[in-house]
Structure 1
Amino acid sequence: MHDPNMPFSEAEKAGLYRAIHERRDVRSQFLPDPVPPRVLGRLLEAAHHAPSVGFMQPWDFLVIESLEVRRQVHGIFTRENEKGARQFSGERQQHYRSLKLEGILESPLNLCITCDRSRGNGPVLGRTSIVEMDLFSTCLAVQNLWLAARAEGIGVGWVSILDQEELATVLGLPEHVYPLAYLCIGYVSEFLDEPELARKGWRQRLPLAELVHANGWGQEVSDDELRQALEDPCPR
C-alpha cells in the first residue's frame, strides 16, 4: 500500500506541474473518439477526491451522451452567446463573434457537475459563515477532473455561456441542485502551447509579480528571493 507520508519523486512533481501548466480550455480541437469508461471513471474518481468544506461533498456528475440533450443545451448556448456578443461593440464585438467558445456537439461527451445546496443535513461545519463554500468546493472538483483529464491526454472545455435555469430544466435538476459546470470532454487533435484566448489576442496572462501582496493590499513583497521567483518563474 502506498505510504501517503512518502515525499513525491522529482518525476511525480514534474508531472503535476506539467498538468497544471499545460491544462487548456478546449473548444476547437475535439476528436470523435469515445472516452473509454475506465478512463472516465478515473476522472470522476479524481473529481470525487476534491476537498470540500465540512466534507459535505456537494457534487453530482451528469454524464451526457444523448445528442438530443446536447442539441437542447447548444440551443441555450446559441441564444446566450448572441446576448453576450451584444454587450461588446465595434471591433471587440467582431472579435468576440469570431471566437469558438464551445464544443458541445463536437465533443463525444458532455458532463455537468452540479452542486447540491442542501447536502450536509442542516448546518455544515465550515459553512456557517460563508454559505457559498459548497459552490467553491464543487469548483475544486472541476479542477481535479480537469488536471486528471490533461494527464490522460483528454481535453476539457467549460461552457459558461448558458442560462442556468434553462439548463436545469433541460437536465431535470431538483430545485436545490445548481448546475455549476457544463463541460465538453474528449480526446483532441492537439493541446495548444498557450491558452486559445491568448493566442487569438483576446487577453494575455497577467504578470504574477503584480498580483502578489504582502500582509495587506498593495504592499510589495520584501523578500528578494521570492520577488525574483515571482518575476522570473521557472516552471518544471
Structure 2
Amino acid sequence: MQPRFGPAFQDELAALLEWRRDVRHFRRDPLDEDAVAELLATAQLAPSVGNSQPWRFVRVRSAELREELALHADAEVARAGLSLSEDRRAAYSALKLHGMREAGEVIAVFCDEATVSGSGLGAATMPESRRYSVVLAIHTLWLAARAKGLGLGWVSVVVPEYVESVLGVAPDWRFVALLCLGHPLELDDTPELERRGWQSRLDWRTNVSER
C-alpha cells in the first residue's frame, strides 16, 4: 500500500526545501560512519535516465589528497576573482567558497559515461542526461543531509580534469561535483549569498514562460 503524504508532511517538505543551504562553514566534528552510509544509500534512490544510476561517489579519506584539492580550489578562487569587475571583487573576496579543510567528509562525484546499467535507455539522443541524473542524486543527498541536521556545500571552483587526475578515477568517469559534508557551524534563515548582497532568490515567475 502506498504511503499517504498528508498536509503536515507537505509543510515539512516545503520547509526542508526552503532551509536547504550551500554550507561553507563547518565545525570540525567527525561524522558518524553509519550516518554517511545511510545518506549514500538514500542518494541511490534518486531517479536516473533508464535507471542507469551512473553516479560514482569517491570519499576523499586521505588528508594529503584533501589538502591538494583545497589548495587547488584556493588557487582557482583567486584566479576567478581577477576576472570580476571592481565593484564585484570586494563582495567576492568576502565569500568563503569551500570548507574542505573543516568538513567532516569530502566527496567527489562523477558520472560513469560508460555504464552498462540501463542499457542506454533514454540516453541515445541526450547522453548528457546521465550527468543530469547524477545531479539528482546529489540533490537527494543534499536534502537527506539537511533533514538530519547536516550541511552540504558544492565546490564548483575547481578544474574537472584536475580533480579526475588527482583522484585517479576510471577514464570514462567525468567529474560533476566536489562536496563538503559535515556539521554546519551555524544556520541562518537567510542564505549566505543573500546576506552578503551577492544574489537574492528570484521570484519563480521570472523563470517561467509560455508558448
What's the RMSD between the two structures over aligned residues? Answer: 1.4
Q: Which has the larger radius of gyration?
A: 1
TM-score, normalization: structure 1? Answer: 0.85
1:199 maps to what in 2? 195
Matches within 5 A, 1:5-84: 5-28=2-25, 30-84=26-80
Distance 1:122 1:138 in 2: 14
Distance 1:153 1:121 in 2: 33
- With 145-154 and 99-108 compared, the bigger mean Cα shift is at 99-108
* Alignment of 1:137 onto 2:133: yes
Q: CA deviation at 1:131?
A: 1.4
CA-to-aligned-CA distance 1:25-76 (integer Å, 9 cap, x gap):
0012x11111111111111011111000011110111112322111000111
Distance 2:185 2:83 in 1: 32
Gaps of 5+ in 2: none
Aligned partners of 1:76 and 1:167 also within 8 Å: no
TM-score, normalization: structure 2? Answer: 0.95
Q: CA deviation at 1:123?
A: 5.6
Q: CA deviation at 1:122?
A: 9.1
CA-to-aligned-CA distance 1:99-130 (integer Å, 9 cap, x gap):
11110101121011111011126961111111
The structure-2 alpha-carbon separation of the partners of 1:155 and 1:122, relative to structure 1 and needing over 3 Å to count, comes to: closer
Residues matched between the structures, number = 211
Query: Identity over aligned residues, as a percent?
Result: 36
Q: CA deviation at 1:87?
A: 1.1
SS in 1 for 2:10: helix
